[in-house]
Amino acid sequence: MNLSVNLGKLKLKNPVMTASGTFGYGAEYSEFVNLNNLGAVVVKGLSLNPMAGNPPPRIYETPCGMLNSIGLQNIGVEAFIKEKLPYLKQFDTKIIVNFFGDSIKEYVKTAERLSSVNGIHALEMNISCPNKQAGWSIFGTDPKVTFKVVSAVRKITDLTLIVKLSPNVTDIALMAKVAEDAGADAVSVINTLTGMAINAKTRQPRLANIIGGLSGPAIKPIALRMVWECHKAVRIPIIGMGGIISAEDAIEFLIAGSSAVAIGTANFVNPKAAQDIIDGMKLFMIEEHISNVKELIGRLKC
């Protein structure tokens, strides 16, 4: 049975990765999941300098989903390279580093630094966090700005470059196309949808940050549609994510057109989720007599 897939020049042993921000820096889940078994580990979003993130409360559960307003708290690129990367490098998996900046300059600087060390296989550019200040969102919602920032990063790195798209747009296929035109090797579809929750009694928002990003099974139908739209629009591979909780979900994303999938909120629901999904995928392939997982990618019948 062949489970391997390609993201541009990067080859994954199977299509299952972890979604940034839901798997820490990898070590946090190593008691539950053998990292050697994963297609790739995607770490929490990094910035040039450490960031404190938003005040608590930072999450709130909603029907079949959750809102988060972590606000990109992270230890910064240098600490990651020194303290976290050596641990991850022990494993036979691909290491994908998610990062962001507050300006094109910062995006470039961060990508440069990350490209200068050994052991990182790909960069995932987050241009789509709903927890940042208003104004920041243009990186992921204004096609012109998106083109600029992706092109700038593309110029300075030879690593596989993945652009993580925002679902909070009118036309995500257009954004995928822009990322492709700017030189991205792959797109991640989708980041969280902006949402909100209110305590009716106190009349206060449930999150200190007022708004947050919605993830989990609730958003799966939207994510799946967006993957399909992007699949029709671009030739670069798509990493599908958004509400995947079972192997069947993951396979639906492959069929809709993603070459790999990322497991996010499901890790919280079941700390073994990523492993269970790989196992379930294998079982599905046996039952359905599929020998190569690539036979599923983009094979929607309609």
Ligand X SMILES: Cc1cc2nc3c(=O)[nH]c(=O)nc-3n(C[C@H](O)[C@H](O)[C@H](O)COP(=O)(O)O)c2cc1C
Mapped onto helix, strand or coil, the DSSP state of residue 159 is coil
Q: What are the distances in angstroms from CA 173 to CA 69, 194, 280, 296? A: 26, 19, 30, 21
Helix (H, G, I), strand (E, B) or coil at 192: coil
Contact window for a copy of itself (CB under 8 A) among 79-87, 108-116, 147-155, 163-171: 163-171
Whole-angstrom distance, CA of residue 274 vs CA of residue 176: 26
**Interface with a copy of itself, residue 162, by CB under 8 A:** no
Sign of CA dihedral 198, 202, 208, 209: positive
Which residue, 39 or 65, is less far from another protein as judged by CB? 65
Contact residues: another protein, CB under 8 A: 21-24, 28-29, 31-32, 44, 52-53, 55-61, 63-66, 68, 70, 73, 216-217, 245, 265, 267-271
Element (H, E) at 240: strand 238-241
Q: What is the rounded distance in angstroms from the CA atom of residue 267 to the CA atom of residue 29? A: 9
The entry of a copy of itself, another protein, ligand X, none near residue 248 (CB within 5 to 8 angstroms by kind) is a copy of itself
Residue type, 215: S
Please check whether residue 13 is in contact with residue 121, taking contact to mean a CB–CB distance below 8 angstroms: no
Q: Does the footprint of a copy of itself cover residue 248 (CB under 8 A)?
A: yes
Q: Which of 146, 160, 166, 191 binds ligand X (CB under 6 A)?
A: 191
CB of 166 to a copy of itself, least distance (A): 9
Would residue 64 show up in a list of annotated catalytic residues for this protein? no
CB of 270 vs a copy of itself, minimal distance in Å: 15
Considering only the stretches 19-27, 197-205, 246-254, 271-279, report the one whose residues sit in contact with ligand X under the rule CB under 6 A.
19-27
Our finding on whether 64 is near a copy of itself (CB under 8 A) is yes
Helices in the chain by DSSP H: which ranges?
76-79, 85-89, 104-115, 138-141, 143-156, 172-181, 220-233, 247-256, 266-269, 273-287
Among 5, 7, 14, 20, binds ligand X (CB under 6 A): 20
By the rule CB under 6 A, 192 interacts with ligand X:
yes
Query: Is residue 260 near ligand X by the rule CB under 6 A?
Result: no
Q: Which residue is nearest to ligand X (CB)?
A: 21
Distance, in Å, from the CA atom of 176 to the CA atom of 228, rounded to the nearest integer, reads 11
DSSP reduced 3-state for 206: coil
Nearest to residue 108, comparing CAs of 143, 150, 78, 141? 150
> Shortest gap between Cβ of 241 and ligand X (angstroms)?
4
Decide whether 219 or 256 has the Cβ nearer to ligand X.
Answer: 219
- Binding mask 168-207 toward a copy of itself (x if CB under 8 A, else -) reads xxx----------------------xxxxxx-xxxxxx--
- Find the binding residues for ligand X in span 209-248 (CB under 6 A): 215-216, 219, 241-244
b/e string for 259-270 if b means 16 or more Cβ within 10 A? Answer: bbbbbbbbbeee
Measured from the CB atom, is 12 or 172 closer to a copy of itself?
172
Matching residue, tokens 């036309």: 171
Strand-strand pairing, 65-68 and 211-215: antiparallel
Distance CA 196, CA 270 (A): 25
Binding residues for ligand X (CB under 6 A): 19-22, 44-45, 68, 70, 72, 98, 126, 164, 191-192, 215-216, 219, 241-244, 264-266
Q: Give the residue numbers marked as catalytic.
A: 129
